[in-house]
Amino acid sequence: MRASRSAGRQKASQQSRHISGAEGLYESHEIQKILKDYLSRAISHPRGMPDNIVITVEKVTQKPIKVSLLPVLTIQCNSRREARKFLQAFLSDLGVSEKAVRKGIRIVTGSKAMRGASLIRSGSGVRVEPDKARGVRVSRFGIEKISQKDLSRELTRKGINTSTVKEAMTLASKVASCEGVTAELCVSDDPHYTTGYLASRKLGYVRIPHIKREGSMCGGRVFFIDEKAEVDRMTEYLEKIPVFAETEN
Ligand code: PML
């Protein structure tokens, strides 16, 4: 689902403001319910009322690849300053250069929320996604039924059992499983949702409270990728290959 609003007097095709988006991989009997859910999300998002909603349903014939669901952890963080320090330290440990980190943070905290994710080379900091306005849209990811129950139980214990957290964890698990991805940084584009995350195979899914100011319209996703990673292959995997995340046990 993609909801947007045309900016001023410009045509929607020329300039539009991203309102909300959602993706998933579902059984055919779940489609009606999901469509209702996506529509209701599109028209009740805190970023505003869209004037264009596109919901696409595609049959997936390829058997989904199984990947591990990342373990979740919430760090203690009380301010944006602390969040930034944490990001710099952890991304540096993962081998991401200062230049790339600065660029990534600039993108997710900039005034223009992107529809998809930006790809940044971890060393040089060069931004390489082919379409800078659209970015790479991670799609065709879901969570295996038993794992869904395990995850709900765990998140309930931690007081964070919401569809926002579950969907973000599932998406992050697909991204982390992509060859060439070092880490993902995400800031929600919901002005009232101030917890973001940093995710990687090595760190897991690390939630960072106070990553942005309450009320800020900024947000987005950045994937830090290897210097030599093949962008076309990664984009094909992230957008097209069906993946189911599952818990280890
Ligand atoms: C989004 O999809 O809008 C981003 C959600 C970030 C969730 C962070 C969390 O609470 O774990």
Expressed in angstroms and rounded, the spacing between residue 196 Cα and the centre of ligand 1 is 6
Strand pairing category for 2-6 and 52-54: antiparallel
Amino acid at 223: F
What is the average pLDDT across 22-46? 92
Edge-to-edge strand list for the sheet holding 243-246: 65-68, 243-246, 141-143
205 Cβ closer than 6 Å to some ligand 1 atom: no
Is pLDDT of 115 > 80? no
pTM: 0.92
Tokens of 138: 């991670």
Coil, strand or helix at 90: helix
Of the residues 18, 162, 195, which should be mutated to test ligand 1's pocket, given the most ligand atoms within 8 Å of the CB? 195
Residue 212: closest CA among 193, 227, 226: 193
Residue 215's region, left for phi above 0, alpha for psi from -120 to 50, else beta, is left
Predicted pLDDT at 20 = 87
Expressed in angstroms and rounded, the spacing between residue 195 Cα and the centre of ligand 1 is 7
Expressed in angstroms and rounded, the spacing between residue 10 Cα and the centre of ligand 1 is 31
pLDDT tens readout for residues 164-184: 999 999 999 999 999 999 999
Residue 108: closest CA among 222, 223, 29, 206: 222
Of the residues 137, 188, 192, which should be mutated to test ligand 1's pocket, given the most ligand atoms within 8 Å of the CB? 188
Amino acid at 54: V
166 Cβ closer than 6 Å to some ligand 1 atom: no
Predicted pLDDT at 12 = 46
Residue 190 and residue 160 in contact, taking contact as beta carbons nearer than 8 Å:
no
Of the residues 47, 165, 170, which should be mutated to test ligand 1's pocket, given the most ligand atoms within 8 Å of the CB? 165
Q: What is the DSSP letter of 136?
A: B
* H-run or E-run covering 233: helix 231-240
For the chain, give the mean pLDDT: 93
47 Cβ closer than 6 Å to some ligand 1 atom: no
**Percent of the residues in the chain that have a pLDDT greater than 90, as a whole number:** 83
Is pLDDT of 10 > 90? no
Predicted pLDDT at 133 = 83
Expressed in angstroms and rounded, the spacing between residue 2 Cα and the centre of ligand 1 is 17
Predicted pLDDT at 16 = 80
pLDDT tens readout for residues 90-113: 999 999 999 999 999 999 998 777
Q: How many CA atoms lie within 13 A of 33 on its CB side?
A: 6
pLDDT tens readout for residues 143-169: 988 999 999 999 999 999 999 999 999
